[in-house]
Chain A
Amino acid sequence: MPADSTVTDERVREETLLARLMKRPELGAIAGLILVTIFFLFTANASMFTLSGIMNFLTPAAQLGILAIGASLLMIGGEFDLSIGSMVAFAGMIFGALVVNLGLPLIVAIPGTLIFAGMMGVVNGQLVIRTGLPSFIVTLAFLFILRGLSLVGLKYLTGGSTQLRGVRDAVGDDWLAPFFSGDAFTGLFAKLAEWGWIDTFKSGAPKVPGVPVEILWFIGIALFATWILLRTPAGNWIFAAGGDKNAASNSGVPVNRVKTTLFIVTACCAALVAIMTVIDAGSTDARRGFQKEFEAIIAAVIGGSLLTGGYGSAIGAFFGSIIFGMVVIGLTYTSIDQDWFQVFLGGMLLLAVIFNNVIRKRVTGER
């Protein structure tokens, strides 16, 4: 740095594009995605990168990604939620009960499920704020409480089974169902098939009937979360609350409100995933969302979110989730034993944390 700190306007141009990029939290995830893509281009069967192959790995990526984006917002805000996996099961049970046992239409059942989940988010948030305990511990308790409640509740609802069936019959012709299950743009895909732009079966029907709706939700939520983070006052409050809650509060940021809202958002993301996967599967069970909290946090960390809060990116979590989906599904297109997946996962996490640490030091000018 030049010694004289008053003649500085020309320093603006000194920072190269590369240096600026190096400061973006999502850089690691994008680089990782490129590496993983190259890896599979060389090792995987070519069908992985056909349209149907891509939809194949984007679908699980989207389901995880919706959780991961919620988790990343919460992490940037300085808290964790380890209960989101169990929340998927819990919300799935609530949703199942509303549509199957109470026979409610989706227009009531979906908001009802989201409200239930949101209330659990409030409980998590208020407990963390009022006790001052680490959210890690409080939500770890809810990881077990919600999983247990899902088991007990499902047995109660079904008279002994841990699986609640009949969701498909209950919502089959509901006008809202297409927004939460199945494929979108089927008309367009049929036309594309007709023109020969995409692969078709012998019958002339497209091999890929449309874009699974969860992928659209995933993209929409990623864009919306990114807009909130970077372009609204609320986004500034999230970064501030996670960066230093005292400094933020002293500067006028309503820290408790921000954190509670983030817990609600995270819980609602879990509920949304529950609703979509339950409608798709036609049933819900107590194992739904098992260990998803870890996967979501890992995807958020790969996406550049710091475990200590105050830094990260929703679009990073988006790419982190795609990496995830690509690896889980991609390994089935290779001759590699799929059980390498967990090894790979741990390795990615470690690399990402080390990388994020370097980036943080660079941003804050620590040496």
Chain B
Amino acid sequence: MEIETAFHHGAVADDAKPILEMRGIKKHFGNVIALAGVSFDIRPGECHCLLGDNGAGKSTFIKTMSGVHKPTEGEILFEDKPMNFSSPRDAMEAGIATVFQDLAMIPLMSVTRNFFMGREPTKGAGPFKRFDVARANEVCVEEMRNMGINLRGPDQAVGTLSGGERQTVAIARAVYFGAKVLILDEPTSALGVRQTSNVLATIDKVRKQGVGVVFISHNVRHAMAVGDRFTVLNRGKTLGTATRGEITPNELQDLMAGGQEMAQLEGSLGGTI
């Protein structure tokens, strides 16, 4: 499979101020130490890739960014101010939108209702303020069309969509609401080749609009295609951040696997991973 790698890079000045800065984030679940002090930042207009094997703590980490988990220890600075998100709603209101790995979609509800869940457009005022269903339907169909999916109707239940279509709805929703930071947790896992390059192109597009994108993947190819910086997580710790051009796909792959085994394995499989 061939992924478009011709995206524009390097527009971000190295000294640009981060929008969101995470310092020494620790997260414990009872005895489990999911994050053992992770630092990370995201600047406007860049795509910062977060890589790591399953269980490395990637999802847990971005959940502290999007207000789902409160870090056990550590500091979050949003636009230079200490931030204490107490719910995903707080993070959203600050302009951080997330595509969660489980997508956070409700199968029994329509695509439109899912798309605007928690952020419904309204019309009217006071006690007559109501959900502007017509506009919501319009926006939803339009945004989905931009992502290359023609819905059977805006009232189609999400449960009837394929995995890839659901993922696309979740991405379209986050892109629509991600005013400052867009977090994508393995957004391409259920997508085919064409939709994957569609998503990568979308990341490139929103980055050009000045949004900071956090892109989680364990596919080095996808990360390399759009990433400006790369941070590798392993067993709840960062193995460091590299800038595009400083690191080769193979080195990244090795870091993700936490050592040399991968290179050997790849050698023996003839470079197909």
Contacts and interface: CB of A to CB of B under 8 A. Distances in A.
Interface of A: 5-9, 11-12, 14-15, 227, 231-233, 235-237, 239-240, 243-244, 246-254, 310-311, 360, 363-366
B250 interface: no
Contacts of B117: 236-237, 240, 248, 251-253
A232 to B, nearest CB: 5
Contacts of A365: 157, 159-160
Interface string B67-106: 0100000000000000000011100100000101011111
Interface residues of B, number: 39
Contacts of A249: 68, 87-88
Interface string B143-174: 00000111111000101101001000000000
A83 to B, nearest CB: 27
B108 A363 contact: yes
B130 interface: yes
Interface in B108-133: 108-109, 113-114, 116-120, 122, 129-131, 133
Interface centre among B106, B113, B118, B119 (most CB of A within 10 A): B106
Contact of B92 (A14, A235, A237, A252): A252
A311 to B, nearest CB: 5
A172 to B, nearest CB: 33
B267 interface: no
A8 B92 contact: no
26 contacts: A5-B149, A5-B150, A6-B149, A9-B150, A12-B152, A12-B153, A231-B131, A231-B133, A232-B131, A233-B120, A236-B113, A236-B116, A237-B117, A239-B108, A239-B113, A243-B106, A243-B108, A247-B105, A250-B88, A250-B98, A254-B89, A310-B109, A364-B107, A364-B108, A365-B157, A365-B160
Given A251-B88, A364-B159, A244 B122 contact: no
Contacts of B87: 249, 252, 254
Given A235-B131, A311-B108, A253 B150 contact: no
A231 B134 CA distance: 10
Contact of B68 (A236, A244, A250, A253): A250
Contacts of A244: 104, 106
